[in-house]
Amino acid sequence: MTKGMVLDPTASRDDDVASPGPDAGLLAGKRVGFRVDNIWRCWDWITADWAARLEDAGATVSFWRGYGRSGEDADRLDRELKEWLGTIDVAIVGLANCGSCTGWTVRDAITAANTGIPTVAVATENFRQFAHEIAARGGRSGLRVHVLPYPLNERTQDEVMPVAEQHFLPLLETMGATLEVREAAE
């Protein structure tokens, strides 16, 4: 009789980070970075709206656009991502809205979280579970994931902007962020 070994695909990593990392705290005066891509126009619209709201609250905002993540471009873009992460205090990474996009979103969010900065990955509802699974496989099961409705990209800008508005304050909650100083309770 031949013996075999069955591997458990649900096993957790010994080096897993179950913590979500630090809260973003007060955003006024901080540098908030949005990681965007070349695919999801809805994400461009949402991040532009959120960026304006953050700037109105006193944050400085920057964007980094990832694309062509294979071949010669891959090494250059990895370097650019790491350089950009060094210029921000908080990372908002998206959009996990398909299989490979979810993989890259979570990968880049893990890279950001591993630098120690407050980080949130943004996914649509259909990719919520997949984003959490990839985060766990990547060693960051505690990665913060904020979830937007699905579908989004198939909607017009007029249909997407209410989603941006509805999810701005919940995003801040997911990040452990505030826009203004809260007085200590007496």
Mean pLDDT per block of 10 residues along the chain (186 residues) reads 72 88 97 96 98 97 88 89 98 96 96 98 98 96 98 97 98 96 55
Helix, strand, coil % over all residues of the chain, rounded to 5: 40, 20, 40
What pLDDT, on the 0 to 100 scale, is given for residue 95?
97
In the structure encoding, which two tokens stand for residue 34, read together? 């949005």
Q: Global pTM? A: 0.92
**pLDDT for 66:** 86
pLDDT at 9: 64
Q: Quote the pLDDT of residue 182.
A: 61
**Separation CA 131–CA 49 (nearest Å):** 24
Q: What pLDDT is stored for residue 41 in this prediction?
A: 97
pLDDT for 186:
45
Say if residue 175 is exposed, middle or buried (CB neighbours under 10 Å; 0-12, 13-18, 19+). buried
Q: Which two tokens stand for residue 123?
A: 């996914």
Spatial separation of the C-alpha atoms in residues 128 and 123, rounded to whole Å: 6
Q: 25-175 belongs to which CATH class?
A: alpha beta
Q: Determine the pLDDT at residue 10.
A: 64
User: What is residue 108's predicted lDDT score, i.e. its pLDDT?
Assistant: 97
Which neighbouring-strand residues pair with 5? Answer: none
